Structure 1
Amino acid sequence: MALDAEQVKEVVRLPAQQRYEYFVEHVAQAGEVWGLYRNGWALAKRDDGTLVFALWPEREFALLCAEFEWEGYAPQAFGLDELLDGLLPQLQEDGLVPGIFRTPGSKGTMPTPGLLKVDLQDEVRRRRN
């Protein structure tokens, strides 16, 4: 479902923790997650140098960040199962963290891969009940 400009503005203005909750709810509901891709996935760095794999709940939010160092990157979706069973374990193994819902003005939230996996699995279970 495409969001209109007002909906995008409203969500982008939320504090990082509320955007994280929005991310978990929407990814669990839609069954997909968005990243930015161009010859590889968009990565950022935390202040301590840890690499961050940027993720968004919907295409429109990823598109907002396809500028500056990510100029020329395009939003690309992949499935929730791929995130839970493939990407998050790989991030854990490689020492990277997920970067949840960056905006042009905020680095978003950077939970451990394990915490994000538990939060998403809990939300999926909650929706099934």
Structure 2
Amino acid sequence: MFSSKRFNAVDLSGDERLQYFIRTVRENKELWGLYADGWAESTDEQRRKGFIVFPDQPHAELCATDKWNRYSPKLIKLSSFLDRFLDKLAKQKYTIAVFPTPFDGPVQVEPDALRQELA
């Protein structure tokens, strides 16, 4: 299970969740997505697709409901994310939809900008 400190991250503002995500992923060298027959996605106001990511498994599980109820948390090693995912997502014009919560949407980050923060 997860500590109350981690759980309270859902109450943070978008910018604070982004910083929490970056710190946690750098520290653990992993991040999490939601996966079923493909990765969970979101769409922003400009109708751009976003690849949804979380800092840890408990936060991903928290969002595996409603429209993502058939999805399960899936680990992504940071090295794989940097080496394979980000280039592909950038070519497909995706944003990275960082750390949505049941109460707030994700923070949309360009793949290259997130690479600079995580590398």
The TM-score normalised by the length of structure 2 is 0.95
> Aligned partners of 2:69 and 2:6: how far apart in 1?
20
Name 2:107's counterpart in structure 1.
109
Q: Is the 8 A contact 2:7 2:59 kept in 1?
A: no
Q: CA RMSD in A?
A: 1.0
Name 1:67's counterpart in structure 2.
65
Question: Which of 40, 43, 50 matches 1:42?
Answer: 40
> Aligned partners of 1:119 and 1:9: how far apart in 2?
23
What is the identity, as a one-letter code, of the residue corresponding to 2:102? P
Name 1:85's counterpart in structure 2.
83
Matched residue count: 119
Identity of aligned residues (%): 29
5 Å-filtered alignment, 1:16-55, equals: 16-55=14-53
CA deviation vs aligned residue, 1:35-80 (integer Å, no higher than 9, x gap): 0000100011111110011000100001111111101110000100
Q: Per residue, is there more strand in 1 or in 2?
A: 2
> Aligned partners of 2:17 and 2:25: how far apart in 1?
12
**Which structure 1 segments of 5+ residues have no match?**
122-129
> Aligned partners of 2:7 and 2:55: how far apart in 1?
14
Question: Which of 98, 101, 110 matches 1:100?
Answer: 98
Q: Looking at CA atoms only, which structure, 1 or 2, has the larger radius of gyration?
A: 1
Runs of 4+ in 1 over 4 A off after TM superposition: none
What is the identity, as a one-letter code, of the residue corresponding to 2:32? W
Q: Per the alignment, in what secondary structure is the counterpart of residue 55 of structure 2?
A: coil
5 Å-filtered alignment, 1:2-21, equals: 2-4=1-3, 6-21=4-19
What is the identity, as a one-letter code, of the residue corresponding to 1:120? L
